[in-house]
Amino acid sequence: MKKYLFIALVAFLAVTSASAQLRIKMGKNSPIEKLGRAEIAITNLYVDSVDENKLVEDAIRGMLEKLDPHSSYATAKETKAMNEPLNGSFDGIGVQFNMVDDTLLVIQPVTNGPSEKVGIIAGDRIVAVNDTAISGVKMSKEEIMKRLRGPKGTTVNLTVVRRGIKDKLIFKVKRDKIPVTTMDAAYMIRPGIGYIRLGSFGLTSHKEVTIAMDSLKKKGMKDLIFDLEDNGGGYLQAAAQIANEFLQKGDLIVYTSGRAAPRQEYKAQANGRWRNGKVVVLTNEFTASAAEIVSGAIQDQDRGVVVGRRTFGKGLVQRPLTFDDGSEIRLTIAHYYTPSGRCIQKPYKKGDRLDYAMDLDKRYKHGEFTNQDSIHLSDSLKYYTLRKHRVVYGGGGIMPDYFVPLDTTKYTKMHRQLAAKSIVINHSLKFIDAHRKELKSQYKDFDKFLATYEVPSSLIDGIIAEGKKDKIEPKDEAELIQTKKYLALQLKALVARDIWDMSQYFQVWNETNEIVQRAVQLLTTGK
């Protein structure tokens, strides 16, 4: 690593014959020479042995930590893990799974994927990979994934335990490219109103969204709810392509500007698929980066309105600088600005990452999530949309046109503790595994499930009882009632996910999502 990091420096060591000790000739050096000499001195003279690679990596991280909150360094392994969810595919066996009682439980094989092709089904338990036990041995999820994944075309032998079958089953699976989708749901939420939820902005996001738009239009979509809640962002290119679908050719989407990066504009390259129909964008405090670009473009161009809460405020342009070993610096070089000129990035103190990390917590304690009046906006933060000249506000993040407070009573402390201990997810997975066949037989139609299915009280009581063993108890009867009510909704959504898919999960969840329901109200009543 030293060879390419310090190729520009001039540093030399002299070994004296008398003392056989190293001396570093220090002169009027440039900062990089000084850094290089320090690194050489430490690796050659320090009292104990040091890991040279780690030493340099820590130095890089130390430099970047003194800058903005998002400039960062990642090892080759970390870089691959960060990029994989956005890159459209990975090589593997093609199963969605969860760990239950230290055993890999298949939630769903990927449609037409390698595992489905050889006969692996939902509910199967994979207990060994190439004769190496992965069940009951306390193996980490990361280690299990490492064993399951591998180059396309290679094979892996999986030992499977299946409910109702005495003997273990052996499947030989040929690894292949497994698609990674970024769209969570797309369906008609009401007659004439389509709904699309995007989880991130990856290489395939534009294609996923346009296919969903075309499909929903065939089902009679006149208005669209575009849900970007909890969307942490992704690739700028994907954001620009998707924003383009709501705009007319030539409309400004976003521009960037920085000290060493002159202004660069991103405009709609063609008339979009949904340039005329009504659109409502949903946001919350976890909507960030590329999702804020799309929200800001639609709002500033008066193509639609934003419903929800102020977004995160991550508007820094980062350039990846990749080293030969695959490690990478992501260096901030500019800021993102919406078409009206608002800087998306919220204020920060250089080098104070803790303060930045606590920003959402401070916003919550200040009352911003629950009370619109707690947000004080000065006239200096006023901007105007480009067509209707409506007032919008800067200061970091995208302010919604229609504020929806967070319902803090719904998600109780007791439920948070049950979820943190994985009691809820483990009980739901065991229940679904035990009743999968009868659930699929009874509810062949999702609409019937949505309208009539009720979570058995025994499942909820079992979760409460398990929590009691871990000393998780309600402070009063009101908290117990609310916890059970929330559990019933969550468990119904989880059953829908495992019997069908994520789209059905959100169809259950959205019926009580205040932000979604406010958007439906706005489109159906106009207010």
* Sole residue written with tokens 């999960």: 505
CA atoms within 13 A of residue 402's CA, in its CB half-sphere: 19
Calculate the alpha carbon distances from 41 to 44, 258, 370 in Å: 5, 36, 55
Q: Quick check: 265 and 255 in contact, CB under 8 A? A: yes
Q: How far apart are CA 404 and CA 145, in angstroms?
A: 39
DSSP assignment of 382-407 equals EEE-SSS--EEE-SSS---SEE----
DSSP assignment of 266-286 equals EE--S--TTSSSEEEEEE-TT
Question: Given phi > 0 = left and psi -120 to 50 = alpha, else beta, which region is 378?
Answer: beta
Beta-carbon contacts of residue 360 (< 8 Å; ≥ 6 apart): 285, 312
CB count within 10 Å of CB 19 equals: 8
Q: Is 457 a catalytic residue?
A: no
Question: CB-based burial of residue 121 (10 Å sphere; 0-12 exposed, 13-18 middle, 19+ buried)?
Answer: middle
Catalytic residue among 251, 300, 433, 498: 300
* Sole residue written with tokens 């990478």: 328
Q: Pick from 414, 479, 489: which is nearest to 459 by CA?
A: 489
The first and second tokens of residue 163, run together, are 């409910």
Q: Quick check: 332 and 282 in contact, CB under 8 A? A: no
Q: How far apart are CA 1 and CA 134, in angstroms?
A: 35
Q: Is 71 a catalytic residue?
A: no
Catalytic residue among 314, 346, 484, 492: 314
CB count within 10 Å of CB 202 equals: 24
Beta-carbon contacts of residue 70 (< 8 Å; ≥ 6 apart): 314, 316, 318, 330, 332
* Sole residue written with tokens 């200061």: 395
Q: One-letter amino acid identity for 66? A: K
Q: Quick check: 329 and 291 in contact, CB under 8 A? A: no
The first and second tokens of residue 53, run together, are 């690679």
Q: How far apart are CA 314 and CA 357, in angstroms?
A: 12
Q: How far apart are CA 419 and CA 131, in angstroms?
A: 33
Element (H, E) at 312: none
Q: Is 28 a catalytic residue?
A: no
Catalytic residue among 71, 115, 200, 289: 289
CB count within 10 Å of CB 507 equals: 21
Q: Kindly give the pairing relationship between strand 72-74 and strand 328-337.
A: antiparallel
What amino acid positions are annotated as catalytic residues? Answer: 289, 300, 314
